[in-house]
Structure 1
Amino acid sequence: MKLAIAIAVSILVGGAGPKMDADTTEWWRTTSELSNDAMEGRDTGSAAYLRAAKLVAARLEAAGVKPAGENGGWFQTVPMHEIAITKATIRAGARPLVFLHDLTISPNAATPARVDAPLYYGGYCAPGALRNARGAIVVCHGTHREGLPSGAEREKAVRAAGAVGILTIADPGFAVEPPRWPYAYARTVTHADAKPDRDPFLRMTLNAGSLGKLLTTVSKKGNVLIRDGASGKPLPSFSLRERFRASFTIRQRDIASPNVVGILPGSDPKLAGQAILLGAHLDGYGYGEPVNGDRLYNGTLDDAAYVALLIRLAERRHGKPFQRPVIFAAWTGEEKGLLGSRWFVAHPTMPLSRIAGVINLDQLRPIFPLKLLTVHGLDDSSLGEDARAVANGLGIAVQNDPEPERNLLRRTDHWPFMQAGIPAVNFVFGYRPGTKSEQIYRHWYRTGYHKPQDDLKQPMDFKAAADFNRFFYKLVERVADDPQPPAWKPTSPLRPR
């Protein structure tokens, strides 16, 4: 394995573009160890994930970090329960639908093994459009446009109409984060102690390109409805002659997966109760539905590269403390719903009162030059001001999230800490509209995000990676050595009340 990693790093370093400096080379070497094919995508609860977790713990220990998990060890076990659809046969009338390509489902403890129900097209699924939907599965256009029903409003209206389920069309008009097909798999993972969801209401998602398979007896073709729905034009509602029939093979099992938690004690005893937590998620998707013949979702940039950056920071310190304690956390279960970080916040291995701030690393894509950095939490706490000062000193501009409709602030592991009242920041590579960087960004979200193509062979901008890594090192040093702890701004709507 080490030879394969060395060859991969050698090829990437010697390829087109500027060569990596020594620090970036070591960072990429660790990224390669965590996301090569032998790590099997580090799926939550898998043996491969545990191998990756042990590697992270060993590397942090070698760098002088101390264990801070359960019982004086490196790990914090997160018990989980998984419900998965392992096989599905689905038809709309006489037409077969391909599971994970035409549609997917979010299963729960009450998902039936067999479904046989009429179909009803409800447009945007406003309440007045669903008069004849009782007992049906309702097809709704999943628009994100302001002034039209939200996802919660659509489901409320469909339930109120007496329908048995909702089939939401993944909106191709949502250009900031286009739908991704196929889905890797259909699984729901929860904490093991969560109350089982026994609601039989069906929640499914439909590929917009597959709507025509449901409309064989309708004069208005599916592509017209998709075009009108994507642009926010008025949509009709009507019953379909076709029935929706499906059989599902459902597997339930208990699984467990560990967070990796370590601490570098601080040098100033007066700041011992003001630790800075550095986090990134170790889990990926693992094996899933093939894309272009590849079924291994390596998760190189999401998020192996930034667990590797935590390791690299520890290695650069060689056990030398900052003034404050610094916690290193590699989370499990992020891709299944922030399960590792939520578990830690609910069952901390150290008092949350001793954690003064969180710097999270996720959603980072060094695939174009780093001239602009989106900072989640930029205006919410002093951490945003620290990020601004460090970035500006490196010639990098900062901005608030220009795409709040994606809700990225709440989609990664800093969010449970913010909910618990702890200031936090997270970062995304930014771009100026209409630039080549935007084209690269959009293309990656279509072809790389949560796909097997997020691997070690994808195009990288290693200078941009080095620029961000340098920003991260300086930010951690500034925050961990500041005499004052991170503090919420009084104007932040997220601050504790």
Structure 2
Amino acid sequence: MMRHLLPLLALLAAPAFAKPDADTRAWLARTAELSSDAMEGRDAGSPGHARAIDLVERWFKDARLQPAGEDGSFRQTVPLHEVAVTSAEMRVVAPDGSAVPLKFLHDITPRPATDLPATLGGAMRFAGYCSAKEIGAEAGPALQGKIAVCFGSRRTGRANGAERLAAVTAAGAIALLTIDDVGFLVEPPRWPDAYARSVAHDGVTLPSGLPQFRVNGAALATLIAGSGRLAAAILTDAGLHRDLESFDLPGRFEAKLTTSQRKFTSQQLIGLLPGTDPAKAGEYLLLGAHIDGYGFGEPVNGDALYNGTLDDAAYVALISQLAARRKGKGFARPLLFAAWTAEEKGLLGARWWLQHPTVPKDQLAGVINLDQLRPLFPLKALTLHGLGQNTLADTAKAVAEGLKIGIRPDLEPERNLIRRVDSWPFMEAGIPAVNFIFAFNPRSQEERLYRDWYVRRYHRPQDDMTTPMDLDAAQDFNRFFYLLVETAAHAPETPRLSPKPGT
């Protein structure tokens, strides 16, 4: 706890934020406790996650919320199935028999699957972006029985992951190595990976089929050694969106993989603040944030504990802080407070609730999700997921603008952020939902701080209480959130989906 207490005291004492209000101090203290080392990063189903559930359940009870989980409790149990690559030896063997190892989780990470082979080996062919057009034009027959090496562009106009996999599978490849898009500077790839695990709801088939590997761009030189090509030139051309030439590689890729499987459960919390207007009793407004994190993983700068302070302990803390402020005093509409599990494993907790709702799903009027929030610089504008899609977003826009906070659409849709948070399953289900991101102007100091956080702290042990937060910005967002909840909960009209253009 001392590791987090000292940064907390430093934040509170910082001259720029000398007097955060009592509510912000309380929120920050909750954040520090929930992301402390004692919670061990809150990996879904872990002992640390269980301690976090106990803590937040106490917060819910102290705030006089009512149980809204299963069997009269605050809890809902989510059954899960995991496949993990626990160890791996991978290398590139040259024609002369010499071999260069590829470091597990640092140079290359296998995608765990139920049918991942224990050994794999074969000749390799670099096939550009591995679009169907590229494969069909020249590389199709040449890929038969080989391992496809593809550049994994994240830019519009190039093959996406599903298209690459389909193209190389149809061409007869026996495995797929995807090189990171190192030129995707809006969210550069980060190494090492924390671990190699795939998790799904119990009974759902985990990824299977063609063996797949994610490859660090820095390891491309090892893969193509002896080909006469320069890895730096390929990465530069790909970064500039240029066409890439296909060619056979002289080396052979070999892998020995050890996998394990387990079934386990992880819990999530749902609390209820009853409404005060009988006419709106069947119009629940759900406030959600995910309680799970990464737990322990591959060390980064000597630290193996991924605390998950801003992702997403701070915002489980915030919905709990709102409940504490109310102390059982309801709004017109009833509120559900959800601390989702297994978000980091594929939005599994929120998806499970939608499949097994603890209140009638057709009575869910709207969802306000808190994730992807990084109070690193003054809050001048928010990116709003849901903008133009539902009237709850219209309400959020009006509340923000009343506080002189600008509202923007997502200016980086290629990052696919809207589909990476727990509001997305509700949007897919046709339920009005919103999520927010601190916005910034291009080439500004705010953008520098934002990018730096994603490079050095996102899904890293460094996402902890040492993060230099802007407490004024945090206070401003918290105030916006409280007012949005109050406004939406008292609004005369129920949130609804916006009509699509042309309808």
Q: Is the shorter-chain TM-score for this pair beyond 0.5, marking a shared fold? A: yes
Q: How does 1:439-478 map to 2 (within 5 A)?
A: 439-478=448-487
Please report how far the alpha carbon of residue 448 of structure 1 lies from its aligned counterpart in structure 2 after TM superposition. 1.1
Secondary structure, aligned partner of 2:143: coil
Q: What amino acid is the match of 1:333?
A: A
Asked whether the equivalents of residues 115 and 246 of structure 1 are also in contact (C-alpha less than 8 Å), the reply is yes
The corresponding residue for 2:25 is: 25
The size of the alignment, in residue pairs, is: 492
Which stretch of structure 1 is more off in the superposition, 90-99 or 131-140? 131-140
The alignment partner of 1:130 has SS state of helix
Counterpart selection for 1:123 from 124, 128, 137: 128
- Do residues 316 (structure 1) and 316 (structure 2) align? no
Letter in 2 for 1:269: P
Per-residue CA shift, 1:253-276, capped at 9, x if unaligned?
011101111100000111010010
Distance 1:256 1:122 in 2: 41
- Greater shift after overlay, 71-80 or 6-15? 6-15
Q: Which residue, out of 226, 233, 238, partners 2:235? A: 226
How big is the shift at 1:148? 2.2
Deviation at 1:150, TM superposition (A): 2.1
What does the per-residue CA deviation read over 1:423-476, in whole Å, with 9 as the maximum and x for residues that have no partner?
A: 000000000111110111111111111111110011111100000000000000
Partner SS state of residue 262, structure 1: strand
1:209–1:223: 8 Å Cα contact kept in structure 2?
Answer: no
Match of 2:376 among 354, 364, 367: 367
Q: Report the AA paired with residue 211 of structure 1.
A: L
Q: Name structure 1 gaps, 5 residues minimum.
A: none
SS at match of 2:188: coil
Match of 1:79 in 2: 79
**Unaligned stretches of 5+ in structure 2?**
94-98
SS in 2 for 1:220: coil
**What is the CA–CA distance in structure 2 between the aligned matches of 1:433 and 1:247, rounded to whole Å?**
45
1:11 corresponds in structure 2 to: 10
AA at the equivalent of 2:69: G
User: Residues 119-167 of structure 1: CA distance to partner in whole angstroms, max 9, x if unpaired?
Assistant: 1111111222423111111111111233222222211111111001111
Residue 482 of structure 1, aligned match among 477, 485, 491: 491
Question: Does 1:187 pair with 2:200?
Answer: no
> For residue 60 of structure 1, what is the aligned residue in structure 2?
60
Answer yes or no: is 1:246 the counterpart of 2:255. yes
What is the CA–CA distance in structure 1 between the aligned matches of 2:156 and 2:466, rounded to whole Å? 39
Compute the displacement of 1:232 (Å): 1.3
Write the mapping of 1:406-417 to structure 2, written as runs, cut at 5 A: 406-417=415-426
Matched residue, 1:90: 90
C-alpha change, 1:119 and 1:62, in structure 2 (3 Å) is: same
- Does residue 341 (structure 1) correspond to residue 346 (structure 2)? The answer is no
Residues 8 and 465 in structure 2, CA contact (< 8 A), matched pair in contact too: no
What is the aligned partner in structure 2 of residue 40 from structure 1?
Answer: 40
- Following superposition, the deviation at residue 236 of structure 1 comes to 1.2
Q: What one-letter code is carried by the residue in structure 1 that aligns with 2:115?
A: A
* Cα drift, residue 416 of structure 1: 1.0
1:162 equivalent to 2:167? Answer: no
Structure 2 letter corresponding to 1:223: A
- Map 1:245-264; keep pairs closer than 5 Å: 245-264=254-273
Which residue among 368, 383, 388 is the counterpart of 1:379? Answer: 388
Write the deviation string for residues 387-444 of structure 1: whole angstroms up to 9, x where unpaired. 1111111111001100111111111101111111110000000001111101111111
Deviation, structure 1 residue 349: 1.0
Deviating 4+ runs (over 4 angstroms): 3-8
Residue 344 of structure 2 aligns to a residue whose secondary structure is helix
Secondary structure in 2 matching 1:334: coil
The whole-number CA distance in structure 2 between the counterparts of 1:367 and 1:174 is 22
CA distance in structure 2 between the partners assigned to 1:297 and 1:148 by the alignment: 33
Deviations 1:190-224 (A, max 9, x none): 0002135442x111111111100112211111111
- Cα distance in 1 for partners of 2:433, 2:208 equals 35
> Structure 2: how far apart are the matches of 1:492 and 1:292?
50
Task: Name the CA distance, whole Å, in 2 between partners of 1:7 and 1:290.
Answer: 22
Q: Secondary structure in 1 aligned to 2:16?
A: coil
CA contact (8 A) 1:116 1:246 kept: yes
Aligned residue for 2:10, secondary structure, equals helix
1:189 CA displacement: 0.3
- Structure 1 residues 366, 89: closer, same or farther in 2, change over 3 A? same
Per-residue deviation at 1:366? 0.3
TM-score (norm 2): 0.96
Question: Within 2, Cα distance between the matches of 1:147 and 1:420?
Answer: 28
Percent of residue pairs bearing the same amino acid type: 51
Distance 2:8 2:494 in 1: 39
- For the 8 Å contact 1:27–1:312, the answer to whether it is kept is yes
2:392, 2:37 → 1: CA distance?
A: 36
Paired with 1:244 and 1:163, the residues of 2 have a C-alpha distance of: 13
Q: Is contact 1:380-1:492 (8 Å) kept? A: no
AA aligned opposite 1:68? A
TM-score by length of 1: 0.97
**1:108 pairs with 2:113:** yes
